[in-house]
């Protein structure tokens, strides 16, 4: 069976850097931080009192108040990003075979805000009085369902949940469904909105997050010796993946071509990466093999790079082993230094970064690295694209995402050539 080629024909995002993809991309290439004090609840008693929040978000711009009340924040963000991507793709919904358009959309946590509010509102004296939309708002698959309902897309429809690898898993599944001929178009990506009492408190309990409360904008500092944990972000990102011939037949613009994905497991620890990066090595090798590419074909890696002590070191070790001498010719950057860690949505926004880096020939930076703030366990001969974007013509880019539980996922996008 000849596999179909899969291209990207639409993009959308809402992030801590902006409520549209153009605003987000401008923030990324200008090295802007999305971090600031938490505004969604009183965090004054928490070890971490800041995050990368989406700012000025008004869901009533895309739906009426009655419909918005049926959605958790993560779903509202998902619909916003998907709406931008579908519009950007110029799909003619009236003419398309909607049986052949699917939605595979991820969330690592899902509707935690709804769950938290409903459980905290329970009064044992009064008895249970839960909102009838409690379960439909909370579940992790509902964003995929809501997007399909909005447009009438009746193709493959589900969510992927693999912690911070979730939306790269979604993209991988969408890629495979299309290249196997099971769909013409799939709306894919991820959304997360876990900046809540339980979300922040839970990650604080395992000492995973930065506590640099006096300097939030500089707290996410991947590959710097003074890093002390990740900065939580929220948002959503969406890619329209399409079978090449279908895209050409309708005259679609093409951002790039998805050519391979990889999956692996660390099989090591609940929350920590393998210290030697065994799972990270395997997932990158798997992605390269799936794409039929060699290490020297890759010009940029958007790393997982969360700004955790162990994770950053193990990922660098993995890159050096997989890429060998080519590792020193690569640009590497962690855009989490600007967006924060979007958890289940991280892979989607970083896949968009890779797609635009290939298309536009510019690599967003890893911000917040200071001269002399060097970790002896990290090889600074590598090009981490510190502090300033770099113009570079690249043929292909790889994105890494690694999740609690040892879940690893990578994807490769390259320039589209007929």
Q: What are phi and psi of 360, to 5 degrees?
A: -95, -15
**Is 164 a known active-site residue?**
yes
Q: Give the span between the Cα atoms of 78 and 236, in whole angstroms.
A: 5
pLDDT by residue for the chain (418 residues), tens digit each? 799 999 999 999 999 999 999 999 999 999 999 999 999 999 999 999 999 999 999 999 889 999 999 999 999 999 999 999 999 999 999 999 999 999 999 999 999 999 999 998 888 888 888 999 999 999 999 999 999 999 999 999 999 999 999 999 999 999 999 999 999 999 999 999 999 999 999 999 999 999 999 999 999 999 999 999 999 999 999 999 999 999 999 999 999 999 999 999 999 999 888 989 999 999 999 999 999 999 999 999 999 999 999 999 999 999 999 999 999 999 999 999 999 999 999 999 999 999 999 999 999 999 999 999 999 999 999 999 999 999 999 999 999 999 999 999 999 999 999 8
**Domains 8-249 and 262-414 fall in the same CATH topology:** yes
**Is 304 a known active-site residue?**
yes
- Residue among 266, 348, 335, 274 at smallest CA distance from 307: 335
**Residue 128: per-residue pLDDT:** 86
Q: Which of 246, 274, 304, 407 is catalytic?
A: 304
DSSP code per residue over 187-203: EEEEEE---SHHHHHHH
CATH code given to domain 8-249: 3.40.47.10
**Residue 129: per-residue pLDDT:** 87
Pairing type for strands 396-403 and 300-302 reads: parallel
CB atoms within 10 A of CB 292: 9
Contact between residue 193 and residue 24 where contact means Cβ atoms under 8 Å apart: no
Q: Which of 71, 164, 238, 354 is catalytic?
A: 164
Contact between residue 257 and residue 414 where contact means Cβ atoms under 8 Å apart: yes
CA angle 184, 23, 336 (to 5 degrees): 85
**Residue 321: per-residue pLDDT:** 98
Token readout for 202 is 């839970």
Domain boundaries, the chain: 8-249, 262-414
**Is 238 a known active-site residue?**
no
| The architecture CATH gives domain 262-414 | 3-Layer(aba) Sandwich (3.40)
Q: Give the span between the Cα atoms of 15 and 345, in whole angstroms.
A: 10
Q: Give the span between the Cα atoms of 47 and 129, in whole angstroms.
A: 33
Q: Which of 274, 341, 369, 407 is catalytic?
A: 341
Contact between residue 80 and residue 15 where contact means Cβ atoms under 8 Å apart: no
SS3 410: strand
Q: Convert 278-288 to b/e letters by CB count within 10 Å (16 or more is b).
A: bbbbbbbbbbb
């Amino acid at each position: 069976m000849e596999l179909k080629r899969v291209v990207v024909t639409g993009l959308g995002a809402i992030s801590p850097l902006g409520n549209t993809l153009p605003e987000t991309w401008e923030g990324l290439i200008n090295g802007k931080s999305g971090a600031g004090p938490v505004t969604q609840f009183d965090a004054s008693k928490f070890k971490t009192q800041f995050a990368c929040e989406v700012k000025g978000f008004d869901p009533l711009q895309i739906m009426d108040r009655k419909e918005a009340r049926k959605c958790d924040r993560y779903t509202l963000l998902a619909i916003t990003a998907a709406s931008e991507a579908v519009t950007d793709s110029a799909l003619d919904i009236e003419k398309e075979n909607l049986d052949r358009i699917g939605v595979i959309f991820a969330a690592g946590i899902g509707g935690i805000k709804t769950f938290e509010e409903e459980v905290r509102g329970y009064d044992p004296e009064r008895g249970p009085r839960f909102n009838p939309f409690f379960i439909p708002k909370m579940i992790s698959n509902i964003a995929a369902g809501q997007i399909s309902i909005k447009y009438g897309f009746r193709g493959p429809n589900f969510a992927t949940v693999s912690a911070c690898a979730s939306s790269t898993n979604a993209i991988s599944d969408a890629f495979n469904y299309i290249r196997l001929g099971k769909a013409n178009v799939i709306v894919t990506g991820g959304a997360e909105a876990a900046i809540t009492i339980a979300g922040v408190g839970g990650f604080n309990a395992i000492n995973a997050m930065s506590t640099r409360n006096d300097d939030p904008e500089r707290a996410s500092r991947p590959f710097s010796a003074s890093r002390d944990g990740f900065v939580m972000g929220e948002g959503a990102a969406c890619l329209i993946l399409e079978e090449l011939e279908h895209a050409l037949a309708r005259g679609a613009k093409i951002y790039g071509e998805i050519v391979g994905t990889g999956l692996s497991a660390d099989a090591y620890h609940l929350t920590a990466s393998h210290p030697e990066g065994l799972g990270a090595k395997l997932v990158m090798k798997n992605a390269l093999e799936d794409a039929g590419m060699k290490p020297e074909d890759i010009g940029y890696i958007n790393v997982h790079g969360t700004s955790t002590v162990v994770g950053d070191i193990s990922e660098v070790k993995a890159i050096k082993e997989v890429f060998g001498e080519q590792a020193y010719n690569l640009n590497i950057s962690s855009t989490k230094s600007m967006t924060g860690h979007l958890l289940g949505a991280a892979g989607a926004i970083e896949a968009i970064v890779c797609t635009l880096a290939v298309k536009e020939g510019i690599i967003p930076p890893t911000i917040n690295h200071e001269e002399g703030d060097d970790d002896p366990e990290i090889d600074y001969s590598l090009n981490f694209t510190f502090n300033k974007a770099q113009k570079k013509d690249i043929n292909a880019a790889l994105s890494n995402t690694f999740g609690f539980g040892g879940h690893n996922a990578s994807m490769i996008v390259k320039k589209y050539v007929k």
